[in-house]
A and B are shown apart, each in its own frame.
Chain A
Amino acid sequence: MKLRSWFLLPAWLWLAALFAAPLAIVLSYSFLSRGAFGGIEFPWTWESYQRLFDPLYLAIFFRSAVMAAAATLGCLLLAFPAALFISRARRRKYLYLQLVLLPFWTSFLVRTYAWLFLLRDTGLINTVLQSAGIIHRPLPLLYNSGAVLLGLVYGYLPFMVLPIYATLERLDPALLEAAADLGARPWAALFRVVVPLSRPGIAAGSILVFIPCLGAYLTPDLLGGGRIVLVGNLVQNQFTTARDWPFGSAVSILLMALVTLAAWRYLRREAGDLL
């Protein structure tokens, strides 16, 4: 056996035992029935998939998709001008990039907790507003969908800035000179030249933000206080409190399918580029 085959052997074992096998088990569970004490029993059935069409669960999927789309849009609106600023900076470009990356390197849990600390009834924002006499009772900033959206945007913002910055950086300045020579005003040049040309970066960033947001569990649980149920929370609930593993598995399989579908084109290109 050639040396390179030995080097890939552990990866094949990982793939089989810790990646494919768990997913195969979940897939098979999704076609089984729930036992009387929360276990998994025969016979094979489609029942869990039929239950997905219950309006209650369709609403959860819909809510998750809307939340993920809103977070993606929020990230895009906040990230684009920032990426433009960094790409146009003549000095300290490296420093600005590091500043974008820095929160990305700190713990995700800590970053989410920071918003809990700021938004809660006795948190910094409410305390400051109350002591300034602007409000008399705390604003309900936490445990609603707004807080979850804010947490998601904050959590995944760097994923949007970097790909957009990368395309802006490659933008040929001659195109902008041409636009200016032909009489385009700065704003027209921005929306008719810069934005269309940075579409690859916008697409990559959107995928990178949308996918983790669609399956988010931690942010809705912590900042939604259990009141905002997204798909991730539904899966967790079925595997713990509700102990309905077949249904939880069916939800997971559908979520996996949606995520893979969203990532498909991007995956094919990136996987070719990077490895």
Chain B
Amino acid sequence: MSMRRFTMPRPWLGLYALAFFAFLHLPLITLAAFSFNSSRFTVWEHFSLSWYGAIFRDPQLLEGLWNSTVIALAATAFSTAIGTMCAYGLWKRRSRVITGALYLSLVTPEIVTGISLLALFQWAFRWLGWQLGLYTVILAHGAFSIAYVVIVVAARLRTVSPQLEEAAMDLGATEWQAFLHVTLPALVPGIVAAALLALTVSFDDYVITSMVAGVDSQTLPMVIYAMARRGASPVINAISALITAVFGILILISERVREA
């Protein structure tokens, strides 16, 4: 669709768009560019990879990276399984309570999610005698990313015809077989996209994590955040550029799978 007859001063709009995209992208591009600067100050000296080397000599960053990876993988498995099942269940029959709760969980401010899960864990620990740790972070991440998974998988389900399952059952398949062999294969791209989304959401989260993490479960965003609060450092530029690159690759994979 075009609006050929509708002519606003076109060059101005084009110029504006240029400035708009520059505003959106230049901060991240300069951030990444200065991660290759040999000086620790914001004056360009010469090209260097020393800040990337510094990442791998910082035990806190490495531990955070490890913890974040473990948490993201476990939380993704948890939320992708529950979210996919939920989307399929809702496709079969609507449930206003579950749908409402999913949307409410999406609009809940992160800090409120964080403190309410903290309150739950502390309350449960009074009887159990456990402590905050990696597994509380995994539960928290799994809990808040379920809504994202449901939305992505439900979007995919809308392209699937319910008659296919009915046809399979008319031909003698059980309800379970119809799901497993007819609907599930059609959902795979949506499930992969949802899992990658859950992975990035978990890997990125600081606010909720900082409330429910134990002393031994510092994640990468928590380490970066503590460094950033102390002041900027080229090491953060380097790790930021790395995270952006890894996220970018994950999203590219997700787009490819979704289009397939």
Please report A residues at the B interface, Cβ cutoff 8 Å: 2-5, 7-8, 10-12, 14-15, 18-23, 25-26, 29, 78, 81-82, 84-88, 90, 96, 99-100, 102-103, 105-111, 113-118, 120, 122-124, 127, 131, 154, 157, 169, 171, 173, 176-177, 179-180, 186-187, 189-190, 194, 211-212, 214-218, 222, 232, 235-236, 239, 245, 248-249, 252, 255-256, 259-260, 263, 267, 270-271, 274-275
Please provide the chain B residues from 97 to 121 with a CB less than 8 Å away from any CB of chain A in the complex: 97-105, 107-120
Find chain A residues with CB under 8 A from B175 CB.
Answer: 2-3
| Contact (Cβ within 8 A) A18 B117 | yes
| Contact (Cβ within 8 A) B88 A7 | yes
- Residue pairs across A and B with Cβ atoms less than 8 A apart, 19 shown, are A8-B98, A10-B82, A11-B150, A18-B117, A22-B116, A23-B116, A88-B13, A110-B28, A120-B231, A122-B41, A123-B42, A157-B24, A173-B6, A180-B6, A236-B114, A236-B211, A239-B118, A239-B211, A271-B100
| Contact (Cβ within 8 A) B6 A186 | yes
Find chain A residues with CB under 8 A from B88 CB.
Answer: 4, 7
Contact partner of B103 (CB less than 8 A), chosen from A18, A111, A256, A271, is A271
Please provide the chain B residues from 148 to 195 with a CB less than 8 Å away from any CB of chain A in the complex: 150-151, 154-155, 175-176, 179
| Contact (Cβ within 8 A) B112 A7 | no
Find chain B residues with CB under 8 A from A84 CB.
Answer: 8, 13
What 8 A-B pairs have minimum CB-CB distances, sorted nearest first? A215-B109, A22-B116, A7-B89, A8-B89, A11-B86, A4-B92, A18-B143, A176-B6
Contact partner of B228 (CB less than 8 A), chosen from A90, A116, A176, A274, is A116
Find chain A residues with CB under 8 A from B120 CB.
Answer: 18, 21-22, 25
Please provide the chain B residues from 1 to 59 with a CB less than 8 Å away from any CB of chain A in the complex: 1-9, 13-14, 16-17, 20-21, 23-25, 27-28, 30-31, 34, 41-43
B151 — nearest CB in chain A belongs to which residue? A274
Find chain B residues with CB under 8 A from A11 CB.
Answer: 82, 85-86, 89, 98, 146, 150
Most A-side CB within 10 Å, residue of B27, B43, B112 = B112
- Whole-angstrom CA separation of A142 from B128 in the bound complex: 45
| Contact (Cβ within 8 A) B232 A123 | yes
Please report B residues at the A interface, Cβ cutoff 8 Å: 1-9, 13-14, 16-17, 20-21, 23-25, 27-28, 30-31, 34, 41-43, 81-82, 85-90, 92-105, 107-120, 123, 139, 142-143, 146, 150-151, 154-155, 175-176, 179, 200, 203-204, 206-207, 211, 221, 224-225, 228-229, 231-232, 236-237, 240, 243-244, 247-248, 251
